[in-house]
Amino acid sequence: MFHDRIIPFSMPTRIIHGFGSIERIPDECRRLGIVKALLVTDQGLVKAGLAQSLRGILDGAKLPYVVFDRVEEDPCMNTVHEGEQLRQAEGCNGIIVLGGGSPLCAGKAIALLGTNGGKISDHQGVGKIKTAPLPLIAIPTTAGSGSEVSPTFLISNEESGRKMAISSELCYPPVAILDPNLLRSVPTKQAIWSGLDALTHAVESLWTNLGTPLTDSIALRSIQMMFKSFVPAVFTDDMAAKSEQLLASTMANIACGNAKLGLVHAFSFPFGNLHVPHGLACGLMLPFVMEFNLPCCKPKLAQMAIAIGERPDQDENALANAALERVKQLYREVNFPSKVTEKEIPRSKFEQVIKETTSASQMRFNIRQAGERDLINIMERAYAGF
Ligand SMILES: [Fe+2]
């Protein structure tokens, strides 16, 4: 399929992975010309002492910085504008983000406003911005969102009650620092949800219509690493597993940043509008979308099954089904729910979810075209569970 088309592959982010890699931040700041940084983070990371460790490194290197630690879950426009005002007032010419998906989204938005001006809602959409954002160093503290290597970010619009997606080739973070030490104290539930978001990124990149051998190979290797490291990374102090899980989640996003995403992420937007956290939403829908897509992507799911340890001498059908069974088995191992309940999506919101999924941009990338009837069937299967 890829042979007759021109499909670009981008990964402009410099990735520095390893224990103690946060010590490299001052060098990277100098390389990027950051003379005073705005350190964007959240209260949870301040309380966990991670922001303090980072401050120690910056102080030690005599690199001036100002802390903006008021980023909330699903950051809204006001927060971004507040951060940008502080940045301007303090004369910071670069951003360091320490955090999970929320601080990374807020930091990218502040970096964008730093050079493009206006309100963040002015820049909503794909490819709208004209000038490269201020330099940004992304330091993820969860293994999941992959935002550290993504040109896309989400900001909640408190006026419309909806999330705005902003994406541009210019918005890739120039540097991502992956230090597994930062994953030491991630709460179990958060580690499971963000891990399943990452797994979904890798699996979805196998079943879009923009996948190539480049994206497939990264996605398959990342799935293999996750199946090996997910359980020990979440439930034990196995730092090698946490390290592998962190790199695998970044790789998953490199794959899906290029191959794009499918139906699970299409569902995740209406779920998000009903305040279901993104990782939980993706985890809940992955097995049921996998079931729906399976007839159209058996060869790739068979490769996935082999990558995670299935015997390669089985026929393609058996292997593709085994990939689905392995995902369900993983859910049992981490005690993740096997169905959607009214707590996440009340029946009264069913039609709204279907309507909003239909208009999600990811619908067009999913390998199997899904009409309204299909979406209803998938949701009913998700309520019934496996
Ligand atoms: Fe995601």
52 CA → ligand 1 middle, Å: 29
**Rounded Cα distance, 56 and 59, in Å:** 5
Nearest Cα residue to 106 out of 67, 78, 127: 78
279 CA → ligand 1 middle, Å: 7
Using the Cα atoms of residue 154, residue 157, residue 162 and residue 167 in order, give the sign of their dihedral: negative
The pLDDT of residue 234 is: 96
33 CA → ligand 1 middle, Å: 31
139 CA → ligand 1 middle, Å: 18
The pLDDT of residue 1 is: 61
| One-character DSSP codes across 180-210 | GGGGTT--HHHHHHHHHHHHHHHHHHHSBTT
253 CA → ligand 1 middle, Å: 9
265 CA → ligand 1 middle, Å: 6
CA angle 141, 142, 143 (to 5 degrees): 130
Helix (H, G, I), strand (E, B) or coil at 122: helix
Query: What is the residue-level pLDDT of the chain in tens, covering all 386 positions?
Result: 667 789 999 999 999 999 999 999 999 999 999 999 999 999 999 999 999 999 999 999 999 999 999 999 889 999 999 999 999 999 999 999 999 989 999 999 999 999 999 999 999 999 899 999 999 999 999 998 899 999 999 999 998 888 899 999 999 999 999 999 999 888 999 999 999 999 999 999 999 999 999 999 999 999 999 999 999 999 999 999 999 999 999 999 999 999 999 999 999 999 988 989 999 999 999 999 999 999 999 999 999 999 999 999 999 999 999 999 999 999 999 999 999 999 999 999 999 999 999 999 899 999 999 999 999 999 999 999 99
212 CA → ligand 1 middle, Å: 20
Q: What is the 3-state composition of the chain as percent helix, strand, coil, each rounded to the nearest 5? A: 60, 10, 30
Domains of the chain: 2-182 (3.40.50.1970), 187-384 (1.20.1090.10)
The pLDDT of residue 2 is: 66
The pLDDT of residue 346 is: 97
Write out the two tokens for 258: 């290029």
The pLDDT of residue 341 is: 97
Asked if residues 130 and 116 have their Cβ atoms less than 8 Å apart, the reply is yes
CA atoms within 13 A on the CB side of 20: 0
218 CA → ligand 1 middle, Å: 17
- Tell me the whole-structure pTM to 2 decimals: 0.95
**Where do we find the tokens 């939403």?**
281
